[in-house]
Amino acid sequence: MARLKGRGVAAVNYPTGMNLGGDPSQALVHATTTGSFVITLSSVDLGQGIKTVAAQICAETLGVPYDTVMVDTADTDTGPHCMGTFASRGTHRIGNAVIMAAREAREVLMSIAATELEVDAGDLVTDGKGRIHVNGAPDKGIAVLDVALAAHFKHGKTISGRGIFLKPKSEVVPETGEMDPDSCQAHACTVAEVEVDDETGEVAVVKMTNAYEIGRAVNPALAHQQIVGGAWMGISHALYETTEPYYPDRSHGPLDFSEYLMPGPGDLAEMDSVIIERPASNGPYGAKGIGEMTANSPIPAIANAIFDACGVRVTSTPITPEKILRGLDALRGQTN
Amino acid sequence: MKHAVVSLTVNGAERQMLVAPGTTLLDALRENQGLTGTRRGCEQGACGSCTVLLDGRTVMSCMVPVETIDEARVDTIEGLTPPQGLHPIQEAFLEGFATQCGFCTSGMIMATAGLLAKNPDPTREDAVRAISGNVCRCTGYEAIIDAVLDAARRVSAAGSARAA
């Protein structure tokens, strides 16, 4: 009886966005009286970090500090439209809409600053720290706060902008089958190393090495966390999760956290993840989507590693100890 | 079965509450005391998001009938948080990106507080065991385990700074 070691590899090309009836998202950006900015979105942050990324993109485009940008995702009834957080689309779609809205707001911001400073708006730059000044003359400037005050109380203007990113629906060319369903594709590869116990059929994922080409990691720490969390979910899909009972009676099916099996803190694999950046021409600052794909390549990589370790090719998930033991029996020419 | 008056020391303050039979510590905290930082997850002791300290030990508050712990000391995430800034454990979770959707976070932090109270210098294995009753569905746990170990260093550094 032995613990058999194996290594498997799998790769994925993953589309950003979807192609049902067109794929739009909108953003509105406006300045408050105190010179902070608010992005209004209907996009939901459920832990993936869209609020952080939207604020980063907005701050970069406006040329103001990140911590002066707030994100309001309060209500999908009253907010600007968003298709939703799915299809790995959030950063790309919403990010592009935020850039568009922030650019329009920046134009107003700079034109009011130019009026206040009595210079041409084309000569002005932002320092990213809350001031606007004449290019090359940092002393000839004005705080964003003072521009906001002047806009509200002197000029009667809103410093605001509207953004909508729309990927129109792509129809299939009937003759060739060609279509353009996504905006760009991210690429990833996983190498899984496993140990298979040939007596119990249990699989331990020892190490996962992940490489992701995602255009630009707008927030590398969030992107890294998506990879690690997604790889964990991949292990879970490959080896643990099912709503079906392992034995014929339906009443054996899992109903809750204590019965629906997923890997816990004691079942983790060592993770080594790298991000490769090849900016997408249509992405916000080059970003593509990294979301669903992180749980994809781990599954076939683990299945391949199990085959490499013990010669058993399992074609349905989860790959349970029972399936491996039956596979090993079949290889030995036994039948149960 | 009658309502009962239960006295607890919640985050250092004496509290009395009138509770119906079978009221859990979780309900007493959230509904009676308004302390909603303690999360209601599975209500069957399987997810750990309602973890609090009961006389210094970590418990899942959904599994504790509050009548059975009269006169006990209970500490929640609200009590851990200082009036200004964050507790070193909270800083470790924040800076280590050990939170995504955040639903499990207060339970994870209280589980860490319980661990560090009895074991200020935990190994990685100790950290894994301490959070093994707590479910996270976002992070894959790696960042949380790292944060528990970082929290141990921060709490110990804060302790020696006070002693000096």
pLDDT of residue A243: 79
Residues of A in contact with B132 (CB under 8 A): 264-266
- At B163 the three-state DSSP class reads helix
pTM of the model: 0.91
> Which of A47, A48, A265 comes nearest B145 by C-beta?
A265
B58, B105: one domain: no
- Read off the pLDDT of residues A218-229 as tens digits, 9 standing for 90 and up: 999 999 999 999
B69, B92: one domain: no
- At A145 the three-state DSSP class reads helix
B100, B140: one domain: yes
Q: In terms of Cα–Cα distance, which of A294, A287, A227 is closest to A98?
A: A287
Calculate what percentage of chain A has a pLDDT beyond 70. 98
- Asked whether residue B35 is assigned to any structural domain, the reply reads yes
CB atoms within 10 A of CB A256: 11
- Report whether pLDDT(A305) > 90: yes
- Asked whether residue B27 is assigned to any structural domain, the reply reads yes
- Read off the pLDDT of residues A120-133 as tens digits, 9 standing for 90 and up: 999 999 999 999 99
B65, B111: one domain: no
Q: What is the CATH number of the domain that holds B33?
A: 3.10.20.30
B26, B57: one domain: yes
Report whether A280 contacts A286 (CB < 8 A). yes
- Asked whether residue B127 is assigned to any structural domain, the reply reads yes
pLDDT of residue B62: 98
- Asked whether residue B81 is assigned to any structural domain, the reply reads no
- Report whether pLDDT(A335) > 70: no
Whether residues A265 and B144 touch (CB distance < 8 A) is answered with yes
pLDDT of residue A334: 67
The arithmetic mean of pLDDT across residues B78-106, rounded, is 96
Query: Is the model more confident about A205 or about A46?
Result: A205
- Asked whether residue B47 is assigned to any structural domain, the reply reads yes
Residue-range definition of the domain harbouring residue B132: 88-163
Cα dihedral sign for B29, B35, B38, B41? Answer: positive
- Read off the pLDDT of residues A31-74 as tens digits, 9 standing for 90 and up: 999 999 999 999 999 888 999 999 999 999 999 999 999 999 97
- Report whether pLDDT(A316) > 70: yes
- Report whether pLDDT(A269) > 90: yes
- Report whether pLDDT(A230) > 90: yes
B68, B41: one domain: yes
Q: What is the CATH number of the domain that holds B92?
A: 1.10.150.120
Residue B16 main-chain phi, psi, to 5 deg: -115, 140
- Of B76, B98, B118, the last residue of a domain is B76
Taking the C-alpha atoms of residue A297 and residue A235, their distance in angstroms, rounded to an integer, is 10
Domains of chain A: 3-16+184-331 (3.30.365.10), 23-167 (3.30.365.10)
B69, B107: one domain: no
- Read off the pLDDT of residues A11-36 as tens digits, 9 standing for 90 and up: 999 999 988 889 999 999 999 999 99
Separation in Å, CA of B13 to nearest CA in chain A: 34
B63, B99: one domain: no
Contacts of B39 (CB under 8 A, 6+ apart): B49, B50, B103, B104, B106, B107
- Give the ipTM of the model, two decimals please: 0.87
B11, B58: one domain: yes
Taking the C-alpha atoms of residue A226 and residue A221, their distance in angstroms, rounded to an integer, is 9
* Interface probe with A: pick from B99, B103, B138, B145, most Cβ of A within 10 Å: B138
Report whether A193 contacts A305 (CB < 8 A). yes
Number of A to B CB contacts under 8 A, please give it: 62
